[in-house]
Structure 1
Amino acid sequence: MASTDWRGAWSAALDELELDVLTVETLLADERRLLETPPANLWRPPTDLGALPLELRPRADEILTRQLAAAEEIARRITANRQQAAMTARIETGEAVKRPVYLDCAM
């Protein structure tokens, strides 16, 4: 594989990966669109590229940083959603407010 082809293949792979993380960031910014959008196809790393060209390392690092931030935000939202669902379940069942079922007037 020629040096130009190698860099171009890596650049195309990073373009695809960056587009995926941009899609997730956009969905996180717009919850309505998140609900209406079908799940994306999983990105699979190319197997025939060899080592990442040194000049593409900063871009790859920046994409990784964005991916980690998006994953952290997704995890935070999942946790918040579970907490809200648990609170809603307690409210609906009456667990959130403990009230006496009867009053003993004999005392």
Structure 2
Amino acid sequence: MLRFLSAFLFGLWATGAAAQNCSEIKFSPGASAGEVTGQVTDGQPMCFVFGSGAGQTARLQLFGSKNTCFTLTDVVDCRDDFSFPTELRTYEVNVFQLFRSTASEQYTLRLTIR
């Protein structure tokens, strides 16, 4: 059932995500973390990208709403906190509403790479 729900949710945001440009999550010089804030509405995920080196550890954390989650393309679906060892590549993150709602959801997405 969980796989079905994940696949269903993936299908809902994949169409919108493919049509929009992704913003880069940037760090201040010397910083190991960066944040983006915004709001997401039903059917309109927000897309972000970041690059990393091999052998680092990245952590994504989502704050601000119980009805939002992020998907890290080809890594993990619908989480609000996730750490993983990185490869030398560019990653895509999509923030979206978990359950349909007419109201927009405010969020902050924090990326830490060490």
Both structures adopt the same fold (TM-score exceeding 0.5): no
- The two structures have a TM-score, normalised by structure 1, of 0.22
- Between Structure 1 and Structure 2, the one with more helix by share is 1
- The two structures have a TM-score, normalised by structure 2, of 0.21
- Between Structure 1 and Structure 2, the one with more strand by share is 2
The structure number with the bigger radius of gyration is 1
